[in-house]
Structure 1
Amino acid sequence: MFGFGFLPLGAVLLCLGSAIALTPEEESSLKEALHPFVLECADEYGIPEEKFEEAKAKGSADDIDPCFISCFLKKAEFFDGDGKLDVEKTNAFVKAHLTSEHVIQFFEAVGGECAKVNDEEVTDGDKGCDRAKLLFDCIQELKSKIGD
């Protein structure tokens, strides 16, 4: 069940397990807080646990439906009702559940760099699927910059 509890945040925010080292306590806190949203959205979009395990193993969420990611982001309140990234709520969640300074700084960088996805033209209105993909791409780019 670890995949269901952890990968979606990682999928959206770049497969954190491979990008950023979390403590066992941080992983547990994330799983506890986010697991219900993952299950709801996985059920809604018919995504089996194996799909998350495959994505986690590959370190990529490319095969995960962006509409699932949007569903998850909305339920976790990382996206607002208009399908836009809510940087303040995301940062508040991060600070409430994570303690590693480098992880918090990474998420602050994501908020600063990737809030631009809110200004992008999308074809699905407030559904958020397009914007979830844009966010994923932005985080991927940021991870590459930080990793260099």
Structure 2
Amino acid sequence: MAKVSVLFCSLYVLVLTSYSMAMTEDQRNIIRQHFREMGMKCMNDNPITAEDITALKSRQVPTGPNSPCFLSCVLKLTGMMDSNGMLQKETMLELAKKVFNDPEELKLIEDYLHSCSHINGEVVSDGDKGCERAMLAHKCMVANAAQFGFDV
């Protein structure tokens, strides 16, 4: 059960699932289910600790050694990060379009995603693994969420 809550919390933060303006319970459930499935696959190779769970629940950056690669794995499986370890803003937006229909909401999500697009220009030492970039993206998304009306 702890694994499921880890996945839920970390991925909830990563992909706008606590969008506070108009997300319905059905929309939340669609996103949760999608990321639970991806996250369960990533736990096998990149298990995260109870401390990481606590950090993610409290909107902090997890410090466990597997956290960056867990996040990278999830982003890659969902198509939000390519095999070269680069974030794919367009893919994220396409995923959002499967859940949100309102053009204003989609514009807000697009602007939010754009606010972290600079992450692809950051120098990282792990190349296409994407672990460092995934952690940078997580930090950016959490830091920028409030200015776009997301309560992550």
TM bucket, shorter chain? 0.7 to 0.9
Distance 1:140 1:31 in 2: 18
Flag structure 1 segments of 5+ consecutive residues without an equivalent.
none
> Are residues 1:36 and 2:42 paired?
no
Instruction: Among all aligned residue pairs of Structure 1 and Structure 2, give the percentage whose two residues are the same amino acid.
Output: 25
Secondary structure of the 1:97 match is: coil
Q: Tell me which protein shows more helix as a share of its residues.
A: 1
Distance 1:27 1:63 in 2: 27
Q: Provide the residue aligned with 2:78 in structure 1.
A: 76
Question: Which stretch shifts more, 58-67 or 132-141?
Answer: 58-67
Q: Could you say what the CA RMSD is over the residues aligned between the two structures, in angstroms?
A: 2.8
Given that 1:78 and 1:86 are in contact with CA atoms closer than 8 Å, whether structure 2 keeps it comes out as yes
Counterpart residue identity of residue 58, structure 1: S
Q: Provide the residue aligned with 1:110 in structure 2.
A: 112
Distance 1:52 1:98 in 2: 29
User: TM-score, normalised to structure 1's length?
Assistant: 0.78
- Taking the TM superposition and a 5 Å limit, the aligned residue runs for 1:1-148 are 3-4=5-6, 6-13=8-15, 16-17=17-18, 20=20, 22-47=23-48, 54-63=54-63, 65-99=67-101, 104-146=106-148
Q: CA deviation at 1:26?
A: 1.1
User: TM-score, normalised to structure 2's length?
Assistant: 0.76
Counterpart residue identity of residue 120, structure 1: E
Given that 1:78 and 1:90 are in contact with CA atoms closer than 8 Å, whether structure 2 keeps it comes out as yes
Distance 2:108 2:70 in 1: 23
- Count of aligned pairs: 144
Q: CA deviation at 1:32?
A: 2.4
Distance 1:66 1:76 in 2: 16
Q: Structure 1 102/133 Cα, relative in aligned 2: closer, same or farther at 3 Å?
A: farther
Structure 1 runs, 4 residues or longer, greater than 6 Å off:
none
Q: CA deviation at 1:78?
A: 0.5
CA distances 1:21-68 after superposition (whole Å, capped 9, x unpaired)? 6321011101222222110111221236x5675345413343461110
Flag structure 2 segments of 5+ consecutive residues without an equivalent.
none
